[in-house]
Structure 1
Amino acid sequence: MNVQEEVEQKTFNIVVSTTKLTARTILNAGRTALREYQSKLLADKSSGKQSVRMLLRQNRGVSSVEISKTGIRDFERYAKKYGIDYAIQKDTSEVPPRYLVFFKAPDADAFNAAFKEYSASLLNKVNRPSVLEKLHELVQVAAELTGKVRHKEQERGL
Structure 2
Amino acid sequence: KAEKMTSDVLKSALQEFMSGKAEKKGRMTYKQLQAKSPSKLDSIEVSDRNIGDFLKTARKYDVDFALKRDKSTTPPTYHVFFSAAKTEDFKRAFSEYVGKGQGKTQKRGEFTREQMQQQAQKLRSKPRKQKQREKTRENRR
Normalising by structure 1, report the TM-score. 0.57
Query: In the TM superposition, what is the alpha-carbon distance from 1:38 to its structure 2 partner?
Result: 2.5
Q: Name the residue aligned to 2:63.
A: 84
More helix per residue: 1 or 2? 1
Query: In the TM superposition, what is the alpha-carbon distance from 1:86 to its structure 2 partner?
Result: 0.8
Q: Name the residue aligned to 1:52.
A: 30
Amino acid at match of 2:97: Y
The one-character-per-residue Cα deviations of 1:48-83 (angstroms, maximum 9, x if unpaired) are: 111222212224232211011121111112212221
The one-character-per-residue Cα deviations of 1:4-49 (angstroms, maximum 9, x if unpaired) are: xxxxxxxxxxxxxxxxxxxxxxxxxxxxx68x82233xx2x1x211
Q: Name the residue aligned to 2:85.
A: 106
Amino acid at match of 1:149: Q
Structure with larger Rg: 1
For 1:11-26, what aligned pairs fall within 5 Å after superposition? none
Q: Name the residue aligned to 1:122.
A: 101
Q: Name the residue aligned to 1:37.
A: 19
SS at match of 1:148: coil
Amino acid at match of 1:104: S
Q: Name the residue aligned to 1:72.
A: 51
Query: In the TM superposition, what is the alpha-carbon distance from 1:145 to its structure 2 partner?
Result: 4.7
Rounded Cα–Cα distance in structure 2 between residues aligned with 1:119 and 1:98: 16
Q: Name the residue aligned to 2:74.
A: 95
Rounded Cα–Cα distance in structure 1 between residues aligned with 2:30 and 2:56: 19
Rounded Cα–Cα distance in structure 1 between residues aligned with 2:128 and 2:37: 74
Going from structure 1 to structure 2, the CA distance change for 1:95 and 1:147 (only over 3 Å counts) comes to closer
Normalising by structure 2, report the TM-score. 0.63
Tell me the C-alpha RMSD between the 2 structures: 2.9
Matched-pair identity in % = 28
Runs of 4+ in 1 over 2 A off after TM superposition: 143-147, 154-158
Going from structure 1 to structure 2, the CA distance change for 1:59 and 1:81 (only over 3 Å counts) comes to closer
SS at match of 1:94: coil
Rounded Cα–Cα distance in structure 2 between residues aligned with 1:147 and 1:126: 33
Rounded Cα–Cα distance in structure 2 between residues aligned with 1:115 and 1:66: 11
